[in-house]
Amino acid sequence: MKIKLSDYVISYLKKKGIKTFFTVSGGASLHLINSVNKIKGVRYICNHHEQAAACAADGYARAKNHLGCAIATSGPGATNLITGIASSYFDSVPVIYLTGQTSSKRSFKGSKVRQIGFQETNIVDMVKPITKYSVKVDDPYKIKYYLDKAVEISLTDRKGPVLLDIPDDFQFSIINTKKLIEKKISIKKQEKKFSNFLQAKSKIENYINKSKKPVLIMGWGAVLSNTYKDILEFSKRYNIPYCLTWAVSHLGDYKDDLYFGTFGTHGNRHSNIALEKADLLISLGTRMDTKATGSPIKNFSKNSKKIIFDIDLHELEKFKKFDLKFDLIIQDNLKNFSKQLKHLKINRFSDTWKKQVLEIKNIMKKYDEKGRNFSGLNPYKLMNYFSDLYKKKMNIICDTGCVVAWINQEFKFNKNINLFHDYNNTAMGWALPASIGSYFFSKTKTVCFVGDGSLMFCLNELATVQKHQIPIILFIMNNNGYSMIRQTQDQWFDSDYFASDSSGGISFPNFQYIAKSFNIEYKKVKNLKDLDKIKNKLLNNTKPLIVDIQIPEDASVVPQVKYGYRNFEMEPIIPSKVMNEIMKKK
């Protein structure tokens, strides 16, 4: 009946399915970590920076599509979590963040002083804008109520992170579980301003049956709601093509002729053209951000009818502000849509529309390849190489910069491969700790693509990889700087590469020496033949491996949309005669 509060917390989270906790030890969190250490069936992983612990918990939760957890101490320990918390929040990932706090007896308690207890920091208010719920525990006997509420809020409707800040003296207090305060969990529901699926069903059928060139658009919400298989089956049953946001690009089988590719400012050119020519777009589980629509937003697929499903009222309301018209707005959970897909009364489409887009794809290919005439190892050919190499079950985790665009534009996914990236926060240094978190949940073959610039943000986590001998293959896309920033500087600053390469003030270590210092095997690659020489290691590694791939500095993302242009007007610009002929074709 009596239990130490920190033991209660960890036992509670264990019952919710969390078996691995990511942490950096600190004075105000030691009781929580000690409880992880002594409770059977759970473990802690020591990271070397709280940001890495947050990103690892985020990666764990993405791979699991359920709860993850990171633990940090007060003050800088808590504030270091913020980047990882933001990644969880913007991508709707359910993570429980636990922070230790200075003793309740040494708290500023609403006074006007900045701090009383050592490292006392009001982390709760700091993270309120990037959490669904954050609270400082004010009574040990309310711990069950706060945990119940945090978990329910994290997993309800649009998922996301929560934070519990627990004073140190409460952590080691002994509580009687019979006396725990329990309250009814009251979660404020968003106002319902738009139709749900059942109310809109007949209108949806009408729009689809009148269409000649429909496209389904699927986003991360389809994964969070576990409805993507139903949606893909719907596409196949009625022969309706689909486009994917980057967050779910791995769900598109490159052999499926209904898959039109990724779209948006850094998507596939033919996909953007297809969305411009489409007469009906059905958006499922994506908030249609500016990366997807381009800017100004009102120019997105101007001639099509548009239907959007989303659970978040605020996301649905934003389009009015940006003058983007949706003909039918549905405020509902995708699960309610997927349950009824088999009952929709619609006709199967012919192959005419998808064949037309395939023709466009073949025409655009030569223009893209011409723009990808780089001086050395072509990253697009590299992605094709890896597509042919990796066919079996695995997780790919990638960092931000050009590498995420190269993968999403060119990698040929199949049903065995998952791709994870923090798409809406895009934090440099996210991928390596997220790979660690992903691996500790799935034990699946894991490869991590990271730029040389991004790796400098998380070098510390090579120690975690080495400690646990995690068989991650770390591919360093080494182009001596920040290539996506250089591409922006080409467009806006006459190729003045300030703060983006060695001439502009960026410096890098010898990664071979870095690998040696962590006792991790290292290979340097200059061309595809070098990769062939280590193919067996790439397929069958049982220990960590760093592969330093030399990418030319002029390698960039081709195609991409320059700000202010419409999505189908990607650079390098297609001759107007060619584009006009494509757009006029019925």
Beta strands in 263-323 (DSSP E): 280-284, 305-310
Please enumerate in sequence order all residues whose Cβ is within 8 A of that of 200, keeping only pairs 6 or more positions apart, or say none. 328, 330
Same domain, 21 and 166: yes
Per residue in 374-401, is it b (16+ CB within 10 Å) or e — as a string?
Answer: beebbbbebbebbbeebeeebbbbbbbb
209 pLDDT exceeds 80? yes
* Domain stop point among 151, 179, 207: 179
Judged against a pLDDT cut of 90, whether residue 353 lies above it is answered with: yes
Beta-strand pair 2-4/174-176: antiparallel
Answer whether residue 355 shows pLDDT above 90. Answer: yes
**pLDDT single digits (tens) 294-344:** 999 999 999 999 999 999 999 999 999 999 999 999 999 999 888 888 889
* Mean pLDDT value across residues 79-85: 98
Element (H, E) at 218: strand 214-218
Tell me: the pLDDT tens digits for 422-444? Answer: 999 999 999 999 999 999 999 99
> Is residue 52 included in any domain, yes or no?
yes
This model's pTM is above 0.85? yes
The beta-strand segments (E) located in 2-141 are 2-4, 20-23, 43-46, 68-72, 95-101, 133-136
Contact 263, 292 (CB under 8 A): yes
Specify the higher pLDDT residue, 182 or 395: 395
Domain contains 586: no
Average pLDDT over residues 129-153: 97
List Cβ neighbours of 203 (8 Å cut-off, separation of 6 or more).
328
Q: Looking at the domain assignment, is residue 50 inside a domain?
A: yes
Contacts of residue 34, defined as CB under 8 A and 6 or more positions apart, other chains included, come to: 6
pLDDT in tens, 98-135: 999 999 888 777 777 888 878 889 999 999 999 999 99
Q: Are 107 and 245 in the same domain?
A: no
Per-residue pLDDT band for 244 (boundaries 50, 70, 90) equals very high
Confidence of residue 561 (pLDDT cuts 50, 70, 90): very high
Domain-located, residue 558: no
Shared-domain flag, residues 89 and 122: yes
**Residues 384 and 346 reside in one and the same domain:** no
Work out the angle between the directed axes of helices 30-38 and 5-15 (0-180°, nearest 10).
60
Domain final residue pick, 309, 336, 362 = 362
| Contacts for 354 with CB less than 8 Å, ≥ 6 apart | 239, 241, 257, 258, 260
Query: Residue 98 — φ and ψ, nearest 5°?
Result: -110, 125
Average pLDDT in the 253-279 region? 96
Q: What pLDDT shows up at residue 300?
A: 96
pLDDT over 70 percentage in the chain: 100
Looking up residue 397, the CATH number of its domain turns out to be 3.40.50.970
pLDDT per position as a tens digit, 273-289? 999 999 999 999 999 99
Which residue would you say has higher pLDDT here, 5 or 107?
A: 5
Are residue 399 and residue 525 in the same domain, yes or no?
A: yes
Per-residue DSSP letters for 538-554? Answer: HHH--S-EEEEEE--TT
User: If pLDDT is split at 50, 70 and 90, which confidence band does 292 have?
Assistant: very high
Q: Listing from the earlier edge strand, what are the strands of the sheet with 521-525?
A: 417-420, 394-398, 446-451, 472-478, 545-550, 521-525
Residue where the block lists tokens 């777009």:
281
Question: Which of 571 and 107 is assigned the larger pLDDT?
Answer: 571
248: CATH: 3.40.50.1220
End-to-end CA, the chain = 73
d(CA 126, CA 89): 14
466 and 336 in one domain? no
Alpha-carbon distances, residue 32 vs 151, 421, 439 (angstroms): 18, 29, 23
- With respect to residue 189, please indicate whether it lies within any of the assigned structural domains: no
Digit-coded pLDDT (tens) for 211-236: 999 999 999 999 999 999 999 999 99
Name the DSSP letter for residue 481. Answer: B
> By CB neighbour count within 10 A (0-12 exposed, 13-18 middle, 19+ buried), where does 247 fall?
buried
- Residue 321 placed within a domain: yes
Task: Say what the pLDDT of residue 585 is.
Answer: 85
Q: How many domains does the chain have?
A: 3
pLDDT recorded at residue 173: 97
Both 400 and 304 in one domain: the answer is no
Asked if residue 121 and residue 224 are part of one domain, the reply reads no
Tokens 């009824």 sit on residue? 340
Task: Calculate mean pLDDT across residues 561-575.
Answer: 93
Q: Which domain holds residue 476?
A: 376-550
Q: Are residues 24 and 114 in the same domain?
A: yes
Residue with tokens 């109310």: 199
Together in a domain, 79 and 147: yes
Quick check: is 122 in a domain?
yes
Any domain includes 64:
yes
Same domain for 167 and 234: no
For residue 85, the tally of other CB atoms under 10 A from its CB is 30
Q: What is the mean pLDDT of residues 545-571?
A: 95
Average pLDDT score over residue span 129-150: 97
Q: Considering the chain, what is the average pLDDT of its residues?
A: 95
Residues 462 and 531 in one domain: yes
Lowest mean pLDDT segment, chosen from 112-116, 149-153, 161-165, 543-547? 112-116
The residue among 179, 209, 233 that closes a domain is: 179
pLDDT tens column, 371-396: 999 999 999 999 999 999 999 999 99
